[in-house]
Structure 1
Amino acid sequence: MAPIVKVAVIQLHPKPMQLEHNFNKAANFIRSAASQGVELAVLPEYHLTNWKPKEPSFVGLCDQWEVYLQKYRDLAKECGICIVPGTIVESHRDADKEEDRLLNVAYFIDHEGDVAGKYVKKNLWGPEREHLTGSGRDVHEVFDTPIGKVGMLICWDLAFPEAFRELIAGGAKIIIIPTFWKLDDCNEAGLKQNPSAEALFLDCMLTARAFENTCAVVFANAGGPPGHGYAGLSQVTVPFLGALTKLGGCAEGMSVVDIDMQILEDAEENYQVRSDIASPGWHYDYRHSKMNERL
């Protein structure tokens, strides 16, 4: 039988520009998760800074990315737990252009404090494009971790099925998605039709991606005070069952859930998505079908 993986999704409301406060809050949740035997804890996107790119101090705070990456590495080793610390926005000097580039980066840190994987957000949401540099045509990598083969995406990447296909073609069974997705990301026309349109989007897409890729999706979103547009809905979703756990739209909190990896094997036996992608006759010969490229 396939193993069971115990995962914690942590839904936080990051105080804007309060790195140490937000880290300490996250660390308390992670220590609690470790005490419950959790193997992987996942935090939301922008959990250290919130998304305030026009604040004068934002770029300067992003210079501290190495400090907080090391803090999470030390915490993972202390607690013996794998951590995906949401995303950490990194400031890098572009010598050619003599300007700073901001990258939105997710790390997979293993239980010994080593970095097992790194992903730079590829598909930038409209307002991010003024501030961030995406990973462009870099491939979506799959990482070998203590909980198996893992892929990582970030927030708006969820809307691109191609990203998932590339990851499962590489063997990923669990796809981790730190997110800062709000209800008020929807435009006025959409909100007029349905004030909860983005919540509907998230629930539908997370379920669809799990089914159509025979994978588990670990989705950690930001929460926040009522009336401020936070969507929450952090969850772990698998085929056949949908969401195994789901946090509410506003409250901070943590949910611990067991992923029975046998469900993924049973789903693949039923839907045969991975075997189709790996077959010599696979007719969608896009770049992201790595297995097809090798044939």
Structure 2
Amino acid sequence: MAPICKVAVIQLYPKPLQPEHNFNKAATYIRSAAAQGAELAVLPEYHLTNWLPKDPAFAGLCKDWETYLKKYQELAKECQICIQPGTIVESHPDPSPTTSLPTLLNVAYFISHEGKILGKYVKKNLWHPEREHLTGSGRDVHEVFDTPIGKVGMLICWDLAFPEAWRELVAQGAKIVLAPTFWTLNDCNEAGLARNPCSEALFLDSMLTCRAFENTCAVVFANAGGPPGRGYAGLSQVVVPFTGPLVRMGSCSEGMSVVDIDMQVLEDAEENYQIRADLARDDWHYDYRHSNTKDNDDNGSKVKERL
């Protein structure tokens, strides 16, 4: 019999450029989650600062990333709970001598209940407005980490729109995908909003349920919420195959839900859909990466077209 995994998904309004205030609020939720028996607490993307990269104070605050990472490590050890602290934007000196601008990385960590860092992931698929300010992880392979709750993968916000990222994680055995996010209703353009003002909510709900089914995995999606009228999407949720969302929060509310994930549902879904079994086959036919080149094998007899 597969175990039950108790997870806390936390939806916060990140007060702009006030990391200490936001950390203290997050810590209060995490302590509450631990008191309710949660094994893991997951926070949103940009939960310490909000996303204000053009504000002169933003980059300066990101220099304190190690301070807050250590605080979360200490909190995890104190509360005996694993923590996925959303994302923490790290500021590093630019190695190029021609510029004094720092390199900013949007990073997700997995911290064990002993305060140890078990996994680190730098956001790969940057949303268009982020590309002016952040450096992504490029062609680095998506990694899966062994944790006290099983094999875990991490994706961040716009990563969720790329099925290839999920496939890399599932092919390595990920059973739970953690998805810290700062996804708003205003991420849709005017043409889309004219057709459906809630377009991004539809996108999120549909995508998260679909990804859980098509990868026979559980998804823990922690998004930012905020005051009404500012475009916050919220909708933090925990999703599994067959059932869909086990919990789904509102768009504007802050709060936390502690959810029991019956890991047996993942085994039952895999028995039905056999996604992982297909991915593991030697003759699996989607053995390619996207590019504009064509490769021949050693004998020159087989061509894989990389679209």
Structure 1: gaps spanning 5 or more residues: 289-295
What are the superposed Cα offsets for residues 190-246 of structure 1, whole Å, 9 maximum, x if unpaired? 000000000000000000000000000000000000000000000000000000001
Tell me the SS of whatever aligns to 1:29: helix
Offset of residue 287 of structure 1: 4.9
Q: Which amino acid aligns with 1:182?
A: T
Q: CA RMSD in A?
A: 0.9
- Find the counterpart in structure 2 of residue 293 from structure 1: none
- Find the counterpart in structure 1 of residue 25 from structure 2: 25
Task: Give the alignment partner of residue 241 of structure 1, picking from 233, 243, 257.
Answer: 243
Offset of residue 94 of structure 1: 1.9
Distance 2:276 2:234 in 1: 31
- Find the counterpart in structure 1 of residue 168 from structure 2: 166
With 241-250 and 90-99 compared, the bigger mean Cα shift is at 90-99
Report the identity percentage: 78
Distance 2:28 2:279 in 1: 42
Task: Give the alignment partner of residue 232 of structure 1, picking from 231, 234, 238.
Answer: 234
Distance 2:200 2:272 in 1: 30
With 91-100 and 7-16 compared, the bigger mean Cα shift is at 91-100
Task: Describe how 1:142-153 pairs up with structure 2 within 5 A.
Answer: 142-153=144-155
Tell me the SS of whatever aligns to 1:94: coil
Distance 1:126 1:91 in 2: 20
Tell me the matched-pair count: 288
What are the superposed Cα offsets for residues 11-43 of structure 1, whole Å, 9 maximum, x if unpaired? 000000001000000000000000000000000
Q: Which amino acid aligns with 1:181?
A: W
Task: Describe how 1:1-295 pairs up with structure 2 within 5 A.
Answer: 1-97=1-97, 98=99, 99-287=101-289
**Who wins on radius of gyration, i.e. which is larger?**
2
TM-score, normalization: structure 1? 0.97
Q: Give the ranges of 4+ consecutive aligned residues of structure 1 lying more than 4 Å apart after TM superposition.
A: none
Structure 2: gaps spanning 5 or more residues: 291-307
What are the superposed Cα offsets for residues 75-106 of structure 1, whole Å, 9 maximum, x if unpaired? 00000000000000000112224431000000
Distance 1:96 1:206 in 2: 39
Tell me the SS of whatever aligns to 2:146: strand
What are the superposed Cα offsets for residues 120-149 of structure 1, whole Å, 9 maximum, x if unpaired? 000000000000000000000000000000
Q: Which amino acid aligns with 1:184?
A: N
